[in-house]
Amino acid sequence: MHLLEPDEARMGKRLLDLYTEVDDKPPWMRFVRNTGERCAGLDVSSPGKYPCAVYESRPEDCRIVEPGSPACLEARRLGHLGTSVEFRRRG
Ligand code: SF4
């Protein structure tokens, strides 16, 4: 997930330092860091739940995907994160 200026302001320096990084080439966009194949914000200390450690401050792109929505469940399925359902495209 990439961050916009309002996302950076909402997260603040501490969370930016902990969970994000700036790309090393132009246009030097800031992203939520990955830990292995997962978002660094994903709290893996609760097996089967995987809450977001920065939920209240999460980037706008993350807010577009509602918890439990088909897009959310598909992302979880692709990331092998617990029980989920197949995402079926409509139409
Ligand atoms: S909502 Fe998901 S993708 Fe966004 S920061 Fe949290 S764990 Fe990462």
DSSP string, 15-36: HHHHHEEE-SSTT--EEEPEET
Edge-first strand listing for the sheet containing 2-3: 2-3, 30-32, 20-22
For 6-13, what is the mean pLDDT? 97
Distance, CA of 86 to CA of 89 (rounded, Å): 10
For 66-79, what is the mean pLDDT? 78
Distance 33 CA to ligand 1 centre (A): 10
Report pLDDT for 44.
84
Report pLDDT for 42.
86
Largest alpha-carbon pair distance within the chain?
44
For 74-78, what is the mean pLDDT? 76
Residue nearest to atom 6 of ligand 1 (CA): 52
Q: Which mutation among 7, 30, 32 tests ligand 1's pocket best, with the greatest number of atoms within 8 A of CB?
A: 32
Confidence check: pLDDT of 86 > 70: no
Reported as a pLDDT band with limits 50, 70 and 90, residue 80 is: low
For 29-40, what is the mean pLDDT? 88
